[in-house]
Amino acid sequence: MIVLRAIHSINLAIGKAVSFLIWAGIVVLCYEVVARYAFGQPTLWAHGYTQRIFGAYFVLVGAYTLIRQDHVRVDLLLNVASPRWRALLDLVNFSFLLLWTGVLSWEAFWFFEDSWRFSEVDDSALRHPMWPVKLAMFLGVALIAVQSVVEWIRSAILIVNPYIDVGRDAGRGGVV
C-alpha cells in the first residue's frame, strides 16, 4: 500500500507541475500573435515550440487525468451497475489500458533511444532536437502505465470487497 500511495503521490505532483506548461504555451502563442500582427515580424520558432509544449503537456498529464477520472468514458453500464460489477468492468478496462501502455511504453522508449543516439532533429529551419519530445512521450505513457497498475489493484480489491474505502469515492485523487 505504501508503494501505491507513493506512485499516486508522484503522479499527482507531476500532473500538477506539468499543468503549468499551459501557461508557457499561452505566453509563446501570445508573443507570436503580437509579433506577427502588431509588428509584422512573425517568428520562426513559436510554432515548433508550441507544438512541443502542448504535446508534452498532453502526454505528461495523462496519469493525473487518470487519477482524477477525467478521461472520456461511456458510463452507460457503470451508472446502473452494482459496485462489484463496476469494479469488474474497471478491472477489464485497466487490463486493456495496461496492455496498450505497456506496448506503447516499449516502443516510445526505442523511439527516444534512436532519436538520442542519432541526434535526430526536426525539419524546421532551426533544426530542433527531437529527443525531448520523444522522452516526454515515453515518460508520459510510462506514468499512465504505472498509474494503471495502481487502479487495477484498486479495482481488484473492490471486486473482493466493494464497500471498502480505497479512496476512489473519497474524492478525486484518493488512493488505496
- Sequence spans of domains, the chain: 2-19+61-160
Question: For the whole model, what pTM was predicted?
Answer: 0.85
- The pLDDT of residue 32: 95
Q: How many CA atoms lie within 13 A of 62 on its CB side?
A: 21
Q: What string of DSSP letters covers 100-163?
A: HHHHHHHHHHHHHHHHHHTT-B-SSTT--BSHHHHHHHHHHHHHHHHHHHHHHHHHHHHHH-TT
- Cell numbers given for 5: 500511495
- The pLDDT of residue 17: 94
Mean pLDDT by 10 residues, the chain (176 residues): 88 94 94 95 90 92 91 72 86 94 96 96 87 95 95 92 67 50
Cα-based distances in Å from 1 to 58, 64, 153, 157, 165: 28, 19, 10, 12, 13
**For residues 133 and 127, is the Cβ–Cβ distance under 8 A?**
no
Measured distance CA(44)–CA(73) in Å, rounded: 39
- The pLDDT of residue 164: 79
